[in-house]
Structure 1
Amino acid sequence: MSDSLIEDYAELHAVLDRIVERTSDACSELEVAELAIIHEHAVRKMGSIGLQRILDVSDREAYRAVQCVKLDEFVGQRLRITNPRKRLRQVTQLTEMHAMTGEKLPPHCPETADAMADGDLTHEHVDAVLDVMAMVPSATPPEMRDLAEEQLAEIAGHHSPREITRAGARIVSHLDPDGDLPDERDRARNRSLSLGAQDTLGMSKLMSTLDPTTRALFEVLLAAWAKPGMNNPDDDQSPEGGADDEGIDAEQVKAAADRDCRTQAQRNHDAFHALLCAAADGGLYGASHRGLPPHIIVSITEAQLRERAGIGHTTTGTDLPMSEIVKLAARAQMYLAVFDDHTGEPLYFGRAKRLASQSQRFVKFAEYGGCSKPGCPRPFSHTEAHHAEQDWADGGKTDITDLAPACGPHNRAVHDGPGGWRTEKIPDGPDRGKYGWIANGTTDPPRTNHLHRPDRILDDTAPPQPEWSEIEHALELILAEHTSAPEPPDPVIIRVIDYRAPISG
């Protein structure tokens, strides 16, 4: 059976190779149009079969056989699917899952599953249907829910995903014309807040569905902090906090409001920014997170500092332009890590200490920027200190030269068994000195992660190293330009740590 299925896929690829080599030049216009329709029909049927293949991998945990720790890692990295969570949602809703007792259960959305298997729906159509079904109130009777799914599948077979969403809104309103059905479960199920990726300007979209109480609290914030003239980053005379706070001069607020050219949306953004700054400066994030202070921690090079240009990288995975880094360093209780000349702090612990120190975490952030496992998108704030030279349980040391950052799942993926990984130091090339990952049972060269620090592989030649006095002078010039700003509640903390030269404790 296994050999037969593999042979079927080999035959399919052979047919595809033949199709690639042929052209439609001899076909009529009608035949050319029919070919495009037939092709899209085949692609959609293959999409349905692909969901079953993913379910097979999940049922047998076959992702471990190709050195993946979790199913979503397999879907995102090995299958290179853009949105693994949405694809896995399709698997759970459109395939016959197994019950705890072993028998197969029918799909949650059987009509949609059949329509996709027939080649009528794309993955985008299915996502639109499932988005509507997620809005159906929990108190809806099962027979009405099934009827709604059947109608959506019928609509999806003839309309675009956008039209499915519009029709779905009418279906949901028909199921609950008086608004009586939604309950606490529906609100809890649909609440969400997600941060999108940075675009070419470094901007990010914040997408959310707020429950009523969270919305009410957010409106209170906007009413108090987003008034004209308040919390304006473009006006150094703009009051901070709420307009009616103690110590706020009403005349100063009025004068700032007269100068305020921001839109309401921009004032909302700046109020939210001011709230986050107040929370960070007030210590509401706690004293530590994974061994580092819960503040903005930025890594830049000495060349960027001298030239005052370029992009800095934070432990949470954000890219910050140099102009923003300068403002943070001058005004707030932030950590600016200029990883160059060392401080002389002890970075070697041998077997005396298992957990990495804060200084060691700073150094590893500068060196890797995030999880060192190739392809892992986890930022440094989500990593642990992996004993990369030798596991702690096997006598490994907590020395700076023996550590590499790894997220929790990948840290545990280093073992001697099947599907595991081992880590080795890379001896040469642009990644020399870093730890690379090798899949067990292979002879591939060790590879490290370039997602977080792509600048480190652009040039194998290290630039000339400046004297510390040059860096110190550059810092003084930068900070001097911003000393006219109000004094922060606590002094700026600048950590300067060497990530290149070993330091004996």
Structure 2
Amino acid sequence: MSDLVAKYAALQSLVREIAEETSDAYDDETVVQLAITHETAVRQLQSAGNRRILEVSDRDAHRAVGCVTVTEFLQTKLRVTQPKKRLKEVQALEPMHAMTGEKLPPVCPHTARELAAGSIGPDHVHAVLDVMAKIPTAIEPEHRALAEQTLAEFATALTPKEIAAAGVRILAHLDPDGRLTDDRDRARNRKLSLGCQDSQLMSKLTATLDPITRALFDVVLAKWAAPGMNNPDDDQSPRGDGSEISSDVLREAADRDCRSQSQRNHDALKALLDAAVNGGLLGRSHRGLPPQIIVSITDAQLREHAGVARTATGSDLPISNVVKLAATAQTHLAVFSDVTNEPLFFGRSRRLASQAQRLMAFARYKGCSKDDCPTPFAHTEMHHAEQDWADGGLTDSPHLAPACGPHNRAVGTEPHQWTTEKITDGPDKGRYGWRRNTDPPHALRANQLHRIDELLERYRNPPDAVPALSRRFDITWPRVHLHPAA
């Protein structure tokens, strides 16, 4: 049997040797060829890596390293930045097992062959997959296979952008009149993605809308994004749909409006979301929290009007925006300390945490308490971290910690499961940490992903050089909650 472990060890050793070498002694033609050979090898390894990922998934081997899902394994152990995109690549290029157990050929065999040969890269692969996803389901399988073969051949010579352009021609050839595309195809391709915040805390929204959604959005924009409507730079601008505003007022507001159409579209969407959040459309509660903007900041940030606040849904807000939200809301303060009127200790009288307890947990953790889990607080459950409810655990604030659904269910006594315990010293003292059920046990680990600002402050000011953490405020728009620091 081939010793795959030894071969990978030899590969790592060889990679280190190659990295230490220079091409100074070679002529230009050889230097160019070395670069081509290197890139080809990287692509071939990507193909082999897909096979390794599939093997981990087929055997549920990710549980051996403490990962609840394959996606978590890609994120935390392989450090793949877009795990869902990588899994899509694996599913299209690798032989998968059918429900009955037999192994099926790859969905895109020619694209898989070219990646394995190193003649195309991951960007080419996803350009091909994007085109294939748009082919109507009514197209005959042999025509679909021919389209994939053609795209794979194009990919060896074209850029990903050019592959997309070629895909348009192929789709036009397969369905020239657009009569084969049906509601199933449109439903399959609908999507809306909200990108990560950039250095300016701005986010990119991309969407593929089905016909009805597009028609509805057009109606909204026709009214809410009309010139003069919902202009954040104009205090006299009509808000909402402007149905009760006189034509003279709207015309004057339109004359003052210097926004582009795309900016008006943005402001219309913002006004629409504001109406939904503060108009009661979202109901009274979501996972025990009010469906409103909830942030946690310090009194120093309030004094200095500087810094960034983290919301319960995982977004970042400049403090200036937080102050603006609080100033325009019906502000209410509730002190979470000994004088609070809401009970924070329920013992065995109830299993589910109260809203006050969830707000306290948000201020303390900001998100899932499992180390390396990126799930924001609004998508977590309250985990009985000291002792499970079924085993007699108490629904008291000191015994609760937020955990996403998969990690909450991963706690147990089995070797592949996790244990949660309260950390008794260090900067995370008082928070719950996680460790796998191993022998000997690993150290408790707290989640730092949601408290980057605290980490930065810790590095700037060592613990022995700073006073105790200041009191922390929880602001819920339109209500503001104040409590002592965690």
TM-score by length of 2: 0.93
For residues 389-404 of structure 1, what are the structure 2 equivalents within 5 Å? 389-404=386-401
CA distance in 1, matches of 2:338, 2:26: 70
1:271 aligns with 2:242: no
Q: Deviations over 1:134-172 (max 9, x none)?
A: 111111111111111001000111222111111111111
Q: Deviations over 1:115-150 (max 9, x none)?
A: 111111211111111011111111111111111100
Q: Which residue of 2 aligns with 1:317?
A: 314
1:406 aligns with 2:414: no
Q: Which residue of 1 aligns with 2:31?
A: 32
CA distance in 2, matches of 1:182, 1:333: 50
Q: Which residue of 1 aligns with 2:111?
A: 112
Check conservation: 1:342, 1:496, Cα contact below 8 A. Answer: no
Q: Which residue of 1 aligns with 2:304?
A: 307
CA distance in 2, matches of 1:333, 1:203: 27
Find 1:454's aligned residue among 452, 455, 461.
452
Check conservation: 1:301, 1:339, Cα contact below 8 A. Answer: no
Q: Which residue of 1 aligns with 2:53?
A: 54
Greater displacement, 156-165 / 41-50: 156-165
Check conservation: 1:387, 1:396, Cα contact below 8 A. Answer: yes
> Shift of residue 340 of structure 1?
8.2
> Shift of residue 88 of structure 1?
0.6
Check conservation: 1:93, 1:108, Cα contact below 8 A. Answer: yes
1:382 aligns with 2:379: yes
Q: Which residue of 2 aligns with 1:132?
A: 131
Check conservation: 2:471, 2:484, Cα contact below 8 A. Answer: no
CA distance in 2, matches of 1:300, 1:344: 22
Q: 1:406 to 1:80 in 2, by over 3 A?
A: same
Q: 1:446 to 1:323 in 2, by over 3 A?
A: same
Q: Deviations over 1:245-304 (max 9, x none)?
A: 1x3122221221111111111111111111111112221111111101111111111111
The DSSP-based 3-state class of the residue aligned with 2:480 is strand
Q: Which residue of 2 aligns with 1:74?
A: 73
Q: Deviations over 1:27-81 (max 9, x none)?
A: 2222221111111111111111111111101111111111111111111221111
CA distance in 2, matches of 1:280, 1:496: 22
CA distance in 1, matches of 2:284, 2:358: 15
CA distance in 1, matches of 2:470, 2:5: 59
Q: 1:334 to 1:42 in 2, by over 3 A?
A: farther
For residues 236-315 of structure 1, what are the structure 2 equivalents within 5 Å? 236-243=235-242, 245=243, 247-315=244-312
> Shift of residue 336 of structure 1?
8.2
> Shift of residue 175 of structure 1?
1.1
Q: 1:335 to 1:272 in 2, by over 3 A?
A: farther
Q: 1:187 to 1:334 in 2, by over 3 A?
A: farther
Check conservation: 2:62, 2:73, Cα contact below 8 A. Answer: yes
Q: Which residue of 1 aligns with 2:62?
A: 63
Letter in 2 for 1:258: D
> Shift of residue 91 of structure 1?
0.9
1:494 aligns with 2:480: yes
Greater displacement, 214-223 / 248-257: 248-257
Letter in 2 for 1:323: S
CA distance in 2, matches of 1:73, 1:335: 39
Q: Which residue of 2 aligns with 1:100?
A: 99
The DSSP-based 3-state class of the residue aligned with 1:396 is coil
> Shift of residue 82 of structure 1?
1.3
1:171 aligns with 2:170: yes
CA RMSD of aligned residues (A): 2.2
The DSSP-based 3-state class of the residue aligned with 1:214 is helix
Letter in 2 for 1:173: A
Greater displacement, 204-213 / 114-123: 114-123
The DSSP-based 3-state class of the residue aligned with 1:453 is helix
Q: Which residue of 1 aligns with 2:87?
A: 88
1:432 aligns with 2:429: yes
CA distance in 2, matches of 1:431, 1:410: 20
Check conservation: 2:292, 2:478, Cα contact below 8 A. Answer: no
Greater displacement, 308-317 / 374-383: 308-317
Q: 1:27 to 1:51 in 2, by over 3 A?
A: same
Q: Which residue of 2 aligns with 1:482?
A: none
The DSSP-based 3-state class of the residue aligned with 1:42 is helix
Q: Which residue of 2 aligns with 1:122?
A: 121
Gapped regions of structure 2 (runs ≥ 5) = none
Gapped regions of structure 1 (runs ≥ 5) = 476-490, 501-505
Q: 1:38 to 1:465 in 2, by over 3 A?
A: closer
Q: 1:270 to 1:30 in 2, by over 3 A?
A: same
Q: Deviations over 1:301-321 (max 9, x none)?
A: 111122222222111011111
Check conservation: 1:291, 1:356, Cα contact below 8 A. Answer: yes
1:43 aligns with 2:29: no
The DSSP-based 3-state class of the residue aligned with 2:350 is coil
Q: Percent identity?
A: 59
